[in-house]
Amino acid sequence: MSARTLEALEEILGRGSEPDDALREVAATLAEEPAIDWAAIAFVEGDDLVVGPSAGSAVEERRVRVPISFHGDAVGELWVDGDADRGFLEQVAALVSAHVLIGWDTGGERWEP
């Protein structure tokens, strides 16, 4: 995983796009990495995880799941199939956390990432 990819993800998330659009771009960018076959963002909905934006070809037996939290609350997981570095994926999970919050229950309050 490259610093260039992290920079690209920061640029995507910093554009001010709709969270769903930004997360779709994040998944697509991750899936372009040579070591990643498939990438997805799963949202916490009640007691379940619901897969949202994804890109690539899933290979479940190679899946890595990294928690995504916002201010200590679990809001989702980053799911990646491939040989991605866990430290890199944890950085990505931290970068996307505010955007994933949008898919989580905000209690009816308006939220700006």
* pLDDT tens digits, one per residue of 12-67: 988 988 888 999 999 999 999 999 999 999 999 888 999 999 999 999 999 999 99
Distance (Å, whole) CA 104 – CA 106:
6
* pLDDT tens digits, one per residue of 65-86: 999 999 899 999 999 999 999 9
| CATH number, span 3-101 | 3.30.450.40
Q: How confident is the model at residue 102 (pLDDT cuts 50, 70, 90)?
A: low
Q: Are 41 and 62 in contact (CB under 8 A)?
A: no
Amino acid letter, 1: M
Distance (Å, whole) CA 27 – CA 30:
5
Residue spans of the domains in the chain: they are 3-101
